Structure 1
Amino acid sequence: MMEFPTYLFSFTLLVSALLVGMLSIYIGTTIRELTKSVVLTMWCATIWGFFYGLELISHTLPLKILFLDLQYIGISFISSFWVLFAIHYTSYKSKKFNLILVALFTIPVVTLILVLTSPYQHFFYESISIVQEDNFTNLVLVKAPWYYVQVAYSYASFMLGLIILWRRFRHSNPLYKTQTKQIILAGSIPIVFNMLYQSGIYRPFDTIDLTPFSFLLSFGIVGLSIARHNLFNIKPIAQNKIIEALTRGVLVLNAKSEIVDYNSEMKSFLDDSTQMITGAFGPDLFSNHSEIQKLMLSSGEKNIGYELETIGKKKNIQVEKIDLKEEQRTIGTIFLFEDTTEQIEINKKLKFQAEELQSLNNLKDKYFSIISHDLKGPVYGIKELIHLTNTGLVSQEEFMEMLPEVSRNMEQVAMLLDNLLAWSSSQLKGGETVNTQEFDIHKVLIQQKGILERVAAEKQLDITIDDQAKSLVNGDKNMIELVIRNLINNAIKFSSNGSIISLTTVDEQDYVKICIEDNGKGI
């Protein structure tokens, strides 16, 4: 009676192991977004089941020990990869992840070394012998202390993986709950079988361990679900990667307004981020902002703004509400938090710049209007005078009498053109710029006096210079010359015949004050 089940179990194990192994290869190569740790877990189950099947049908002690040793490549690491899968699946993040990896794989590595090296194998098994029972050979293992360390580690690791999965998704929406329950069930069944076998409570076949069967069955079902029904096509891994990549804060609440999920950016939008705990009541996070609590608990508004003060700095926060519906029933809500402080400041600057630009355009239009008027008068006057002279309506004597007045008008036009060219040059260079240099201000006054002295002589004006201040100054020489020339020209224009125009320089602390004074009408 023993021989038939043994070969039947062996055949079933070998076939199941090969099928699960091929399925894991298919999944690993076709479903790229799937975390590789689930594939490695399936491979560990494959190795365990395959070599256990070979052990069952072997008849010699060395061959059975060889297949037993090879089983531990899968047995040692299956629980470690299970925890690693749970960590990846739930997108758990930790700065000490490398230490976690060391803790996960230290005991399995030690176990494999002890099992595979003859000098140290007695730490795992005190003795290994073979017993013959009705044409069936079975290993008799006397277990050493490290065997129990490995068993305890495996149980603890599987429980840890189950806890990670359950705690992460116990408040999630129905899609993730169903998916996670399938995975938890797949990890729980083999451990239950192994506990029953190890304790001797349930052994339907006295000498056969059903744990490899249960692992292959469980992960075979999960593998088929992945391959056929795309179990992971909307994975929490992808979900978490997306929300973590967002620059906006994301807060997900279920129908009871309990926190289901959030990203790390969300903490920057809270007065107290320590209250951000999965399963907590969402509105409690905003005890100082009744408008946000109202938004969370009502079904009316979809957008709202509030101010948040952190480290003495105020932030303008905009909140957008998105309802999650399933068959016309609201199953949860997503809240998107965005810091609009910088955008508001940019909008203010843009508005100010637009107003400033409009003002400059208005000023430019005014300048062109004045320039057009001031240029037209003298130019059209000269044109008309030349026309009248050519037609004989104005005699040569009359033309010569008018020539001084024409000369004065042309001086004004030349001055206007100088100003216009200076302004145009500054605009072409990208706006008004100041080219600072050191120069002699007294020489500038003398130079500008020389340029305008002939015009002043026509009105019998005397231009005097009283240079009391220091001569060397720093400034934009071209602009200073333009300003002084315009001021002297205005003084000449509005001064009475025979009067004096006085140019003076006076020291005033770190500056030199230039005064141009006339006795004419005006300001």
Structure 2
Amino acid sequence: MEFIHNAFSISLIISSLLVGGLSIYIAFKLSDSTRWMALTMFLMTIWGFFYGLELASNSLDQMINLIYLEYIGISFIPASWIVFSLIYTGYKKWLRPLILIPVFLIPVTTFLMVLTNGHHHLHYSSVGISNSGPFPLLELEVGPWYLVHTFYSYIAFLLGTLILWGRFKNADPLYQTQSIFLIASGLFPVIFNLLYQTGVIKPFSEIDLTPFAFLFTYIILGFAIIRYQLFSLKPVAQNRIMESLTVGVLVFDGNEKLIDFNPATKQFHLDPGKIKIGVAASSLFYDNEAIYNIIRNVEEKIILINTVKDGQELNLRVKSIPMLDKTSGFYGVIILLDDQTDQLKVNKQLRQQANDLIQLNELKDKFFSIISHDLKGPIFGVKELIHMTQSNIISKEEFYTMLPEVSKNMEQVAILLENLLAWASSQLRGEHIQIQNFNIVTLLTQQQKLLDRIAREKRIEIILESEEIIEILADRNMIDLV
């Protein structure tokens, strides 16, 4: 192969090698979506490098062979741009066979059409050499498939641009700057190609300046990615974080217009369909003046809202966070919506459990008080009687004389203990009151017998004036303990 280099070919070859080196570095050093941008740059390298060699060629066969290599890049650059746009904006789930097949179908067909053009002339209807310029140039007459590929390329770049703009037009200014830079890198070369196709800019009637525009743009883009880490803070990261939050997040600009929100927000609003980008805060919260006021007043504040959604009570904790700029001051407010319903229920249960523990502690004190007061005396009396007998303070005859009285007292103590245990058991089960009909005289008679010895020692006489049956409605165990 013989080449006669000129300013056009040399500039293309050098810039192509530079972009190629940048694309390889980016592909191995940076993230997934940026690698697809690196692939787009590398495909542009192939086009630019071999087009530079074509401009330095002086034979038709050599130029045609170089066109075959150029179309490795030309055919697939539009498809690579679409894939990059989808991955960078977080729409990776769209990259299914149903989408990828039509995206890559025309590029593959175009490449095959170019390779077999000598048989059907559908891509180029005629191919020749023009010597009207300062060096030999390939003179081409386009065929119908060339127009199909050109139309597809414009649609692909336009679609990728719309995906980028639609995703980030209302994003943070930092991300908007990144998106504008990306959009410019896609549209600027396309505009040059449109001017070439229409003949407005076409040096020497044949030279295509589109590769020059692409390479110039990608050199700047490549250095920006490496030097300033242009896409290290991808907007998609912000969106993924927003989507993973269980707390509702609403972002309003300085004009009280909604510019961003996460999916969790819709579960807290009474009318989820109204939550749309661009809706006014006054319209979104027309039925909740408290929330609208903290947006309008631009203050950091926390309020609690009680409402009902789908027949269920909803307790919301609403927090507002003003967004302040160092130069222009206020430029927005963030509203956080957090469902506190379950937490409030847990707090209520904890308070109830604390009250139950207090009541159980009081029950314990009552239990030991009763044992100390009503059981200690009779039991200690029996103990003292046994001790006096063993110490010969009283004789066996005196002991046997006292034994029936002791037996009667212990029987009454057993009844009291049984009632006490039954009452304590009911309290522990939470059965605080068991209302029933019973004869109060029978209960009083039992208590009289239990207390008779203690009363006689204190010279107190207990008299029941009525022995008739008197039915009452009460808790028997409670009355017995009293």
Structure-1 residue corresponding to 2:157: 158
- Relative distance call for 1:362 and 1:105 in structure 2 (3 A) is farther
**3-state SS of the aligned residue for 1:234?**
coil
- Relative distance call for 1:340 and 1:98 in structure 2 (3 A) is farther
May I ask how many residue pairs the two structures share in their alignment? 444
- Relative distance call for 1:395 and 1:211 in structure 2 (3 A) is same
Shift, 1:223, TM fit: 1.7
Shift, 1:414, TM fit: 6.4
* Structure-2 separation of matches of 1:129 and 1:207: 11
Alignment of 1:85-484 (within 5 A): 85-92=84-91, 99-117=98-116, 122-131=121-130, 136-300=135-299, 302-327=301-326, 329-408=329-408
- Relative distance call for 1:28 and 1:522 in structure 2 (3 A) is closer
Identity of aligned residues (%): 45
**3-state SS of the aligned residue for 1:319?**
strand
Q: Deviations over 1:355-395 (max 9, x none)?
A: 22322332233223334445533432233223222333222
* Structure-2 separation of matches of 1:32 and 1:403: 98
8 Å Cα contact 2:300-2:322 kept in structure 1: no
8 Å Cα contact 2:420-2:481 kept in structure 1: no
Q: Deviations over 1:227-264 (max 9, x none)?
A: 11111233211111111110111111222222221112
Shift, 1:54, TM fit: 3.0
Shift, 1:342, TM fit: 2.0
Structure 2: gaps of 5 or more residues? 431-441, 451-475
Moved more, 325-334 or 306-315: 306-315
Cα RMSD after superposing both structures = 3.8
8 Å Cα contact 1:114-1:120 kept in structure 2: no
- Relative distance call for 1:173 and 1:496 in structure 2 (3 A) is closer
8 Å Cα contact 2:305-2:317 kept in structure 1: yes
Shift, 1:151, TM fit: 0.8
8 Å Cα contact 2:33-2:87 kept in structure 1: no
Aligned partner letter, 1:235: K
Shift, 1:405, TM fit: 4.0
8 Å Cα contact 2:48-2:70 kept in structure 1: yes
* Structure-1 separation of matches of 2:12 and 2:426: 89
Shift, 1:48, TM fit: 1.9
TM-score, normalised with respect to structure 1: 0.74
8 Å Cα contact 2:412-2:446 kept in structure 1: no
* Structure-1 separation of matches of 2:377 and 2:43: 100
* Structure-2 separation of matches of 1:413 and 1:68: 115
* Structure-1 separation of matches of 2:13 and 2:426: 88
* Structure-1 separation of matches of 2:263 and 2:257: 17
Q: Deviations over 1:176-202 (max 9, x none)?
A: 222222222212211111111111101
**3-state SS of the aligned residue for 1:123?**
coil
Aligned partner letter, 2:332: G
* Structure-1 separation of matches of 2:45 and 2:320: 47
* Structure-1 separation of matches of 2:265 and 2:256: 16
* Structure-1 separation of matches of 2:174 and 2:321: 18
Aligned partner letter, 1:166: W
Q: Deviations over 1:309-349 (max 9, x none)?
A: 43333322222111222216122221111222222222222
* Structure-1 separation of matches of 2:97 and 2:419: 72
Aligned partner letter, 1:368: F
- Relative distance call for 1:108 and 1:275 in structure 2 (3 A) is farther
8 Å Cα contact 1:315-1:341 kept in structure 2: yes
**3-state SS of the aligned residue for 1:149?**
helix
* Structure-2 separation of matches of 1:416 and 1:128: 120
Shift, 1:148, TM fit: 0.9
Structure-2 residue corresponding to 1:67: 66
* Structure-2 separation of matches of 1:314 and 1:422: 41
8 Å Cα contact 1:28-1:34 kept in structure 2: no
TM-score, normalised with respect to structure 2: 0.79
**3-state SS of the aligned residue for 2:138?**
strand
8 Å Cα contact 2:299-2:322 kept in structure 1: no
Moved more, 120-129 or 145-154: 120-129
**3-state SS of the aligned residue for 2:121?**
helix
Aligned partner letter, 2:266: K
- Relative distance call for 1:109 and 1:304 in structure 2 (3 A) is farther
1:43 aligns with 2:42: yes
* Structure-1 separation of matches of 2:226 and 2:447: 97
* Structure-2 separation of matches of 1:120 and 1:258: 60
